[in-house]
Structure 1
Amino acid sequence: MTNVLILGGTGWLSGRVAGRWLEEGAAVTCVARGARPAPDGAELVIADRAEPDAYAAVADREWDEIVDISSRAEHVAAAVEALGARTKHWTYVSTISVYADATMAGADESCPLAEPAEPGDEYDYSREKVAAEASARSAVGDRAAIVRAGLIVGPGDPTDRFGYWVSRFALAGKEPVLVPEAAGLMVQVIDVDDLAAYIVAVGRGRWSGTANATGDPIPFTEFVQLARRTAAHTGELVAADPDWLAAHEVNHWMGPRSLPLWLPADMPGHSTRTNAVYRSTGGALRPVSETLARTLDDERARGLDRERQSGLTRAEELALIADLTG
């Protein structure tokens, strides 16, 4: 039987990875703080990765595969030191945010990375991931797969970015929806279940290397239209100039009072990374329209008018539309 250790295994992505390995017939152990349950059939080892003895309960076992998704470089460094010699293969889930340059369209895995985080630095997500990648490579070497995930989307997304659009169109119905003027901007995402399947596949095959695990770039305007059709929205699209939106304190990308997935014009390469390695190593991509439909079902179940982590409230949006058109 394949013995798999998931450092995590109770969160959105890591829980799906654990579940996929269980479906493969593996014996799965999850190391997590215990705030959430592990998937049925997995062993849960409760530990805090900030503690020096975090891996004591699993460090004397032999593993076929270890999966880590942490964005804390010190946690990854401690894990590979404690466990790197005990596994046949290690998969570290990184991010396409590790790259230093977001201006080059179609860039591949060889592009320069951001400076790695150093102990004591103020937390920076991309720099932490760069340092974590380096730890995995140095300790596990040719037994490591570095999976640089793109924007992960789909049912259960805790960030509320991708789901904002299909949810908002469904909520608005026949009423107007505010969109940014976004000519030339792109969207690039990967369904959480496609990514989980790939993480399991590279572990099963013990592939070593680095891959941008992300979907094909699509124009932002095309994505908005796909979301609109999925939600059967029939109201008006009210397009706002980026400078007008900035003046009215509407943010890019994510978070409160934002238009999610909308990027500044000076980041044309961010959502255009090549996924050729991902595809050539067996990575699958379902149509974005399918992910939107799955996401809409999830959004309806959670409540279209619920409080969100990202996006405009409907009241904020209607006030902006009134200001723009009045």
Structure 2
Amino acid sequence: MIDRRRWLQLTAAAAAAWTARGLVPDAHAEAPKQPQRILILGGTGFIGPHQVRYALSRGHKITLFNRGRRSKEWPGEVEELHGDRNTGDLAALEGREWDVCIDNPTTLPFWVRDAGKVLKGKVGQYVFISTISVYAANDMPGADETAALAAYEGADPMQETQDTLRANLALYGPLKARSEQEVRHWFGDSATVIRPGLIVGPGDETDRFTYWPDRIARGGDVLAPGGGADPVQFIDARDLAEWTIRMAEQRSFGTFNATGPAQALTMRDFLQRTRGALKSDAQLTWVDTAFLQANKVAPWSDLPVWIPADGDSAGFAQRSTARARGRGLTCRPLDATVRDTLAWWNEQPAERRNTRKAGLSVEREKELLALWKKRESAG
């Protein structure tokens, strides 16, 4: 265990290293009462590095468990244990104890089952990063954590693998929901389940949010979906990561929707504020949903972040986050997320930027805008 004096020394050292890298430790959150021994399963993906850096800045002792395939530099001492949850190799965790375990990457129920066998009784809190995709329906605006979950209807959830999931992405929500059940089976009242919405910001490999800052920064005539009134929700990975660490510090248990922003945001607000944050001269051309559907333009993938708020998707981007905000979830200004995401994107190799994974191609956008304007001119 670390005594108070040593903890203060570590906190100061981590904060100094943090600042030297151009990062700023959280200023609004009350300092933790004592350091935590935190085990992070994963830790080198999208949200994990933000968790590690934030936790180090607050004086915690961090252990990572992963396959060791992504080396990282940390602003402080981090213990790294290696294994493979795909093959059930968790031997490195045996005989150890931690105050908190944060499970970032799990989609498959057997990963939780195997972790439970090793860690039950060995951690004081098990934090599982789930998803709002666990819900059975998205038709009710304002639905909270008590809404019904998607049911797994396959033969055996414990036999599902990453390959079967890739072959059938419709399994994602049901498998996450089933994973939540495993968390509660093994860890009971010591479990914290966090259900993020779309996670965005620097380092996002899906390119869904990134499409918009990149497109608007290029200027010109930008195809904007719908009439602008459709709501959108997302959360900066850094806000999610930092709040997760604070939930561990507070020993906050239960289930929480975690997305943002705090106030309702429409697609029009989002794009106009993105344009303002980037000081872009882009012109937004709003194209109605019926036209986009007729031309086989898919929400979320061709035009990311956006899903029409009607019918079965009326509540998709209107999940209640009141419970999480009551436990201290905050969101940084949208302008900061937009600018930081674009700065990160512009640092990527040209090959990466030329093979974007979401959004319309330049050619397809021009084609659609020409068709739309021709239709509008014809009256």
Q: Structure 1 stretch 69-78 or stretch 269-278: which is displaced more? A: 69-78
* Match for residue 50 of structure 2 among 16, 34, 41: 16
Show the 5 A alignment for 1:229-268: 229-254=276-301, 258-264=302-308, 265-266=310-311, 267-268=313-314
Structure 2 residue aligned with 1:322 = 370
TM-score by length of 2: 0.80
- Following TM superposition, by how much is the alpha carbon of 1:18 offset from its aligned partner in structure 2, in angstroms? 2.1
Deviations 1:133-156 (A, max 9, x none): 111111111111111111111111
Structure that is richer in strand per residue: 1
2:38 paired with 1:4: yes
Distance change >3 Å, CA 212–CA 225, structure 1 → 2? same
Which amino acid in the other structure matches residue 54 of structure 2? R
- 1:57 and 1:230 map into 2 onto residues whose CA distance is 46
User: Partner of 2:355 in structure 1?
Assistant: 307
Query: Among residues 124, 128, 134, which one is paired with 2:181 in the alignment?
Result: 134
CA contact (8 A) 1:169 1:232 kept: no
CA contact (8 A) 2:37 2:60 kept: yes
- Return 5+ residue gaps in structure 2 as ranges: 3-35, 166-170, 375-379
User: For structure 1, which runs of at least 5 residues remain unmatched after alignment?
Assistant: none
Instruction: Give the 3 Å change call, closer, same or farther, for CA 38–82 of structure 1 in structure 2.
Output: farther
1:277 corresponds in structure 2 to 323
Deviates more, 1:5-14 or 1:38-47: 38-47
How far does residue 263 in structure 1 lie from its aligned partner after superposition? 0.7
Stretch of structure 1 that moved more, 31-40 or 89-98: 31-40
Q: Judge conservation of contact 1:30–1:38 (CA < 8 Å) in 2.
A: no
For 2:141, the equivalent position in structure 1 comes to: 105
Q: CA deviation at 1:228?
A: 1.7
Contact 1:154-1:192 within 8 A present in 2 as well: yes
Q: What CA distance in whole angstroms lies between the structure 1 residues aligned with 2:73 and 2:42?
A: 11
Structure 1 residue 63 corresponds to structure 2 residue 129? no
Whether the 8 Å contact between 1:59 and 1:86 is mirrored in structure 2 is no
Q: Which moved more, 1:301-310 or 1:228-237?
A: 301-310
Give how far 1:58 is off: 1.2
> What amino acid sits opposite 1:298 in the alignment?
W
Deviates more, 1:59-68 or 1:283-292: 283-292
2-structure distance, mates of 1:213, 1:276: 9
Deviation at 1:306, TM superposition (A): 3.0
Count of residue pairs brought into register by the alignment: 320
For the residue of structure 2 that corresponds to 1:259, the secondary structure is coil
Counterpart residue number, 2:117? 81
User: How far apart are residue 275 of structure 1 and its match?
Assistant: 1.1
The amino acid that maps onto 1:263 is I
1:109-120 aligned at under 5 Å gives the runs 109-116=145-152, 118-120=157-159
Q: Which residue number corresponds to residue 65 of structure 2?
A: 31
Give the partner amino acid of 1:211: F
Residue-by-residue CA offset, 1:85-114 (whole Å, 9 max, x unaligned):
211111001111111120100111111111
Residue equivalent to 2:234: 189
CA distance in 2, matches of 1:245, 1:88: 50
1:200 aligns to 2:207 (yes or no): no
Query: What's the CA shift string for 1:248-307, capped at 9, x where partnerless?
Result: 2321112xxx01112143301011111111111111122222211222222332379532
Counterpart Cα distance in 1 of 2:152 and 2:249: 29
Give the AA of the match of 2:334.
Answer: V
Taking the aligned partners of 1:208 and 1:133, their CA distance within structure 2 comes to 13
1:29/1:38 CA distance change after superposition, 3 Å: farther
Q: Specify the alignment match of 2:256 in structure 1.
A: 211
One-letter code aligned to 1:300: N
Separation (CA, whole Å) in 2 of partners of 1:281 and 1:168: 35
Partner amino acid, structure 2, of 1:199: T
CA distance in 2, matches of 1:210, 1:49: 24
CA contact under 8 A between 1:19 and 1:39: conserved in structure 2? no
SS at the partner of 2:210?
Answer: helix
Deviation (angstroms), 1:183: 4.5
Amino acid in the other structure paired with 1:322: A
SS at match of 2:275: helix
- Native 8 Å contact 2:132 2:197 kept in 1: yes
Q: In structure 2, what is the equivalent of residue 72 of structure 1? A: 108
Q: What SS class does the counterpart of residue 194 from structure 2 fall into?
A: strand
Secondary structure of the residue aligned to 2:120 is helix
CA-CA distance at 1:166 after TM superposition: 1.4
> Once superposed, what is the RMSD of the aligned Cα atoms?
1.9
1:312 match: secondary structure: coil
CA contact (8 A) 2:209 2:304 kept: yes
Higher Rg: 2
Cα distance in 2 for partners of 1:142, 1:236 equals 52
Q: CA deviation at 1:246?
A: 2.4
Counterpart contact for 2:228–2:286, Cα < 8 Å: no
Equivalent residue letter for 1:306:
N
Aligned to 2:209: 162
Distance change (3 Å), C-alpha of 1:246 and 1:64: same
The alpha-carbon distance between structure 1 residues 75 and 189, as it changes in their structure 2 partners (threshold 3 A), is: same
What CA distance in whole angstroms lies between the structure 1 residues aligned with 2:113 and 2:266?
Answer: 38
Give me the identity figure in percent.
Answer: 35
Conserved 8 A contact 2:129-2:194? yes
